[in-house]
Every structure is written in structure tokens, then in C-alpha cells.
A and B are shown apart, each in its own frame.
Chain A
Amino acid sequence: MFENLIGQPEIKRQLEFYAEAYKKTSIIPFILLNGAKGLGKTEFLKSFSKSLTNVDGKPRPMLELNSSTIKNNQMFFEQIFLPIVQGNEITLFFDEAHALPKDLMMSFLSILNTERTSYKEFNWREFTFTFDFTKISMIFATTELDKLFPPLKDRLTVLDFKPYKANEIAEIISNRLPDVEFEEDLLTEIASTTRGNARSAVKRAKEIETYCETQNSTLFFKEEWNSLRKILGIKPLGITNTEMQVLEILAERGPSTLQTIAAVTGMSRSAIQRDAELYLLQRGLMRIDGHREITKAGMLVLKDVQGREADMLAQEADESNAPF
């Protein structure tokens, strides 16, 4: 079922279990896929959904809904349920389910409260809508589990996606580029710049492919990687310019408050916490002990980046001063 997908062994086991149970019962639990963007929620779901077959033996189609565009019950029932879902065998996939409107979440509390049956009738205004869960599979996904209405979350079976390991990312990149030959261990270094994110890995593979095409070469060694890093500004561990800025402030000013960092960067406190500090803390590049401080690992990364930038500037200066 997941032969083309790398990583997430727990998710694979759980979904394979539900797919196997579906063959006997024709129902699956109400699943909630939880995890950061780019971890492969939709890709895993597509493979899973393909394995669910309808009465006619054909794969059950999946309707992927952008939850934030459903503003109320009326939009869901009038635009989705009546014309597309009612009377059909289908999987409903609510992406970014935390953005569902409150009234639809409340309706789902009733609809998904099935206990022993696989059938639910739901009355809305003067209409009665029938949910036969042998025909309708309902799956949700979110990147912000804390924003999902807790009673709704309680009715769902939560599957947590985890960040990818370096070797998994390396495998994703190498699978995408079967014709490219990599220097030994280089893939692991490249993988470290994707932040454990499968989508970033695919994007990086595309960048390498483009680079190789422009160079008319299928060899990708350290030299090529350094050249690509320089062109695209790829930093160690894939840290962003904003994260670099925070590290620089902490290195220059010593232990600082969030307010100081916000004042120097011009960003809001919440943006700094969400967009910069989270990853720096995860990677042990800074710590919060009353004040914000850069760690030794953070200093090493900072010096590495600054050293590379200084080399680049020196190289550019040499090139511009070189005689014709």
C-alpha cells in the first residue's frame, strides 16, 4: 500500500490495520492525521484511500476539502453533501480541519457520535441527511491540533506524523533522482538542510535536478553541492535568515529578552516565538533560561555561516579584481 512512501512506520502500520479491517467491515474509524506541514499527510492518505474499494470493486474516490473555505453548515450541505456525497461511496477528507466553522464542528459532534452503529441520520433545518459510514469514510487532517474543538477531537482516532530522520530524507532525495550519482555521505549532509520535512526534501531534489541539467552532468559531489548552496543561500541545518538574525543578536548582545529581540528585528514577539525560536530550540542552537541565550552549537552554526559568507565575499572580490 505504501511501497512508494518512505518513513512514518507507525502511520503505515496503523493505516494498513484499518485498511485490512475495512475489507471485513466496510468501515474505517474517523481518522485525524496530525502533523506539521510537509510531513506527507495527504500523500499517505491518498495511498490509503486508494486501497478502500467500493461495492463495484473500484477504488473509493476521495473528495479533498479545504476546510477554511467552508463557512457554515449551509455551504457544506448544499454545495458538498447534497450534490456530491449523498447516495455515493466516497471518502471525505477535511484538510486543515481546525479551520472548520463552529456550527459544522457542532454538527459533526452529532454525526460522528455513532457508537455501535455505522449509520446516522442528521436533521438540519427541515432536511434529514443520512450518513451511512459503510459508504462514506471521513478523514480529517490538521497542522494545529490545539485549535481543533476538543469534543470533536475526542471522536476522532488521532495518528501523529513525526519529522523524518536524515536517512529517510536522503532516501527520498535519492529516489527522486535515480540518474544522479552522489558523493558518499553527501546525501546525509543535504538531508540535514531539509529540517526533517519530506516536502522540503522533494523541493531540494528538484533543485539538484535543475542544477545538474544546467551543468549537463549527472555527478553531484561536494563541489556541486557547495556551488548550489551558494546560489540558493542554503544554510547549515536549513536555518532561515530570520533564525540567523536571532542567533546573531544573541551572540552580539549576550542573554536577551524576547522584547529585545522583537525590538531589534522589528518582528512581533509571537512571530519570533513561532517562526524563529521554535526550530532553534529544537536543534539546541539556543536556550531559554529566564533570558534567551545562544548555545555552543548555535555559535558553531553562526560561525560556519559567517565564515562561508566571508569566503563568498572574498571570492567575489577576487573575481571582480581579476585582470582580464
Chain B
Amino acid sequence: MENTSLQSTLNETSEQSALKRGRGRPSGSNSFENVQIKQLLGLLSPEASIPVSKKWLRDTLGLMASERPIQTITYDYPIVSQPVETEEEEEKVQFAMHSFEE
């Protein structure tokens, strides 16, 4: 049911783009639609790469995408995850203590 709703939304969007005329984006039009993650997951596998806007990445998740070259950024599922702290193993000086006490 939810998947059908998503499909109709996508169809509407492509029809709108087919009607586009002239130069540039018409006033009030929007390139994006709000979709629930669970709807997307009904169509895509958790490993699928999806394009998201750099603004959304920055404003919603606090992540920054590199400016160039333009590329698809793949984040491990789940998308919203806590940064993993990696602890680097500290290099140790090798030594031996000789006490000489009997």
C-alpha cells in the first residue's frame, strides 16, 4: 500500500518534468519530495546508494559532502548513526628495568 503511494508520487514528479518548458525552475516548484525511509526500503536494498542533497546532509545530519568531484556518497545502513570512535593503539617504548638488589 505504502509502496503504491510512493510509486504514484514518483509518477507525478516525472509527469511534471515532462511538462516543463522554458529556462530554469518555475517559481514555487520543488525538486524534492518527502518520503519515509521504510517506503524506500520497500523498493531498495539497505545497501543501495541514494542521491541526497548536500544541503540536507549538512542541515539534517550534520555531515559534509566533498564539493568536487561530484559523487554518490554511500552511508552504511542505518543512515543515522553515531560516529564510531576508533582508538589507535599507542606505540610503546620497549624497556627493561634492572634493579640489582639481592
Which A residues fall within an 8 A CB radius of B? 46, 49-50, 58-66, 69-71, 75-76, 79-80, 84
A61 touches B91 (CB 8 A): no
Q: A62-B98, A63-B95 are in contact. List 6 more A-B contacts (CB 8 A).
A: A49-B100, A61-B99, A64-B97, A66-B94, A70-B93, A79-B93
Q: Is B101 part of the contact surface with A, judged by Cβ < 8 Å?
A: yes
Q: For chains A and B in complex, what number of residue pairs have CB atoms within 8 angstroms?
A: 45
Q: Find out whether the CB atom of B91 lies under 8 angstroms from the CB atom of A64.
A: no
Q: Would A50 and B93 count as touching, CB distance under 8 A?
A: no
Q: Which residue of A lies closest to B99 (CB)?
A: A61
A66 to B97, CA, bound (A): 12
Which of B92, B97, B99, B100 has the most CB atoms of chain A within a 10 A radius of its CB?
Answer: B100
- Grouping DSSP codes into helix (H, G, I), strand (E, B) and loop, the B interface class, with mixed when no group exceeds half, is loop
Contacts of A61 in B (CB 8 A): 97-100
Q: Which of B92, B93, B95, B100 contacts A59 (CB 8 A)?
A: B100
A66 to B91, CA, bound (A): 13
**A80 contacts which chain B residues (CB < 8 A)?**
93, 95
Asked whether B98 lies within 8 Å of A46 as measured between CB atoms, the reply is yes
Tell me the bound Cα distance from A63 to B94 in angstroms: 10
* 13 contacts across the A-B interface (CB closer than 8 A): A46-B100, A59-B99, A59-B100, A63-B97, A64-B97, A64-B98, A65-B94, A66-B95, A70-B93, A75-B91, A76-B93, A79-B92, A80-B95
B50 at the interface (CB under 8 A from A): no
Asked if B96 CB lies within 8 Å of chain A CBs, one says yes
Shortest Cβ distance from residue B92 to the other chain A in the assembled complex, whole angstroms: 7
| Closest CB in chain B relative to A159 CB, distance in Å | 19
Q: How many residues of B contact A (CB 8 A)?
A: 11
| Other-chain residue from A62, A76, A79 in contact with B100 (beta carbon distance below 8 A) | A62
B93 in contact with A64 (CB, 8 Å): no
B101 touches A59 (CB 8 A): yes
Query: A58, A60, A66: which contacts B93 (Cβ < 8 A)?
Result: A66
Name B's A-contacting residues (CB within 8 A): 91-101
Expressed in whole angstroms, the minimum distance between the Cβ of B95 and any Cβ of chain A is 5
Distance A157 CA – B97 CA, assembled complex (angstroms): 24
- 6 closest Cβ contacts across the A-B interface? A59-B100, A66-B94, A69-B94, A62-B98, A50-B100, A64-B96
In the complex, the chain A residue whose C-beta lies closest to that of B95 is: A65
A98 to chain B, nearest CB (A): 16
**Please, how many angstroms separate the alpha-carbon atoms of A76 and B99 in the complex?**
21
Give the Cβ gap from A311 to chain B, nearest Cβ, in Å: 46
Task: List, in ascending order, chain B residues with CB within 8 A of A79's CB.
Answer: 92-93
- In the complex, which residues of chain A have a beta carbon less than 8 angstroms from the beta carbon of B100? 46, 49-50, 59-62
Contact residues in A for B92 (Cβ distance below 8 Å): 69, 79
Give every chain A residue within 8 A of B93 (Cβ-Cβ): 65-66, 69-70, 75-76, 79-80
Could you tell me the distance between the alpha carbons of A76 and B91 in the complex, rounded to whole angstroms? 11
Find chain B residues with CB under 8 A from A63 CB: 95-98
Which residues of A sit under 8 angstroms from B98, Cβ to Cβ?
46, 49, 61-64
* Whole-angstrom CA separation of A69 from B92 in the bound complex: 7
Residues of A within 8 Å of B99, CB to CB, are 59, 61
Q: How far is the CA of A79 from the CA of B90 in the complex (A)?
A: 11
In whole angstroms, how far apart are the Cα atoms of A66 and B96 in the complex? 9
Give Cα A70–Cα B93 distance, bound, in whole angstroms. 5
State which of B91, B95, B97, B101 has its C-beta within 8 Å of the C-beta of A71.
Answer: B91
